[in-house]
Amino acid sequence: MNLADYLRKDFAYNAWANHEVLAAIRSSGGKNTRSLQLMAHILAAERVWLERLRQVPQSVPVWPEPNLSQCEAEADKLGGEWHEFLDLVTAGDVNQTISYKNSKGEAWTSAIVDVLTHVVMHSAYHRGQIASYMRSIGQTPAYTDFIHGVRQGLVK
């Protein structure tokens, strides 16, 4: 598998896992504020990083107000936008760098491949927090293990 295919698979997993978590939040009644806050943050951070990669101004706060329907719509949009972006960027050199400012206004330069890796890992980290929190309050979290998604044919 080449790097482009590997990245596409990572982002296919990421989109699938985001949808699974949103479905678990919805099935729990959608009233789980902490899980929804974290999910809104995951999606906002993905949007922010995509905008940084596209070199366009940031359009959303990193910690937006949680809203389940808006999160579901954003997850749908982001899945397609990441797919389109990966088709463009992997046709070139993902080791190229981008310069951007973080949410504190600090200037940074990072390799595109490192940013892409960060996005998937950041999302997985917070999905783990959501799963832990849901268990702690007696709810059933989504089962989003990468290997589960692959074995079930849900991630391709």
Which pLDDT does position 73 carry in this prediction? 98
Structural domains in the chain plus CATH codes: 3-149 (1.20.120.450)
- Whole-prediction pTM: 0.95
For 71, the token pair is: 């999160």
Higher pLDDT, 93 or 64: 64
Neighbours of 26 (CB within 10 A): 15
Residues counted in the chain: 156
Return the sign of the alpha-carbon dihedral for residues 80, 11, 42, 98.
negative
For 6, the token pair is: 């590997």
Which pLDDT does position 31 carry in this prediction? 72
Which pLDDT does position 123 carry in this prediction? 98
Evaluate whether 62 touches 41 at the Cβ level (below 8 Å): yes
Which pLDDT does position 145 carry in this prediction? 94
Dihedral, 21, 74, 68, 100 alpha carbons, nearest 10: 90
The per-residue DSSP string of 79-127 comes to HHHHHHHHHHHTTS-TT-EEEEE-TTS-EEEEEHHHHHHHHHHHHHHHH
**Confidence grade of residue 70 (pLDDT, cut at 50, 70, 90):** very high
Which pLDDT does position 91 carry in this prediction? 79
Q: What residue type is assigned to position 44 of the chain?
A: A
96-151 pLDDT tens trace: 999 999 989 999 999 999 999 999 999 999 999 999 999 999 999 999 999 999 99
2-30 pLDDT tens trace: 888 999 999 999 999 999 999 999 999 86
- pLDDT over 80 at 93, yes or no: yes
- Give the three-class secondary structure for 142: coil
Q: Which residues pair with 108 in a beta bridge?
A: 100
Higher pLDDT, 77 or 156: 77
Return the sign of the alpha-carbon dihedral for residues 57, 61, 62, 67.
negative
